[in-house]
Amino acid sequence: MKTSYKGINLIKRFEGLRLEAYRCPAGVWTIGYGHTKGVKEGDIITEEQAEHFLKKDLEPVEKVVNRECMGINQNQFDALVSFVFNVGETAFCRSTLLKCVKANPANLNIKGEFARWNKAGGMILAGLLRRRRAETELYFEAV
């Protein structure tokens, strides 16, 4: 499966587009739509480069979700791609969220598992609360 337009727009909405490198709330140098690999202070990119980075950054995330989450629908896939894009593969693969999805993708406990991932740097962030709510809504939205 590949991330749909709906999933890409969800990621873009929460990552935002920044053409100059900045430190995210977790202290990581970031640019474009949440791109972090090789980013350093003072970097500047174009919108086209940001789109390219996002496309490339989604490839390994999609691979992980495809490998770990069999039998899910497009909305569930998109929501999980957004989640993994934000928290990282290692955290996702160790998460209770993944265990719940694997056991039963329709399990309502998944809502609470998304909601638990609301902190950066040890602090609850309003942006992460909104993102997890949007991911949960998309995950449980009928296809």
Catalytic residue at 24?
yes
Active-site residue among 15, 62, 113, 135? 15
Is residue 23 within 8 Å of 120, Cβ to Cβ?
Answer: no
Burial of 56 (0-12, 13-18, 19+ CB in 10 A): exposed
- Of 20, 24, 69, 137, the active-site residue reads 24
The token pair that represents 126 in the structure block: 């309003």
Strands 29-32 and 119-120, sheet pairing: unpaired
Please indicate whether residue 59 is annotated as part of the active site: no
Residues with catalytic roles:
15, 24
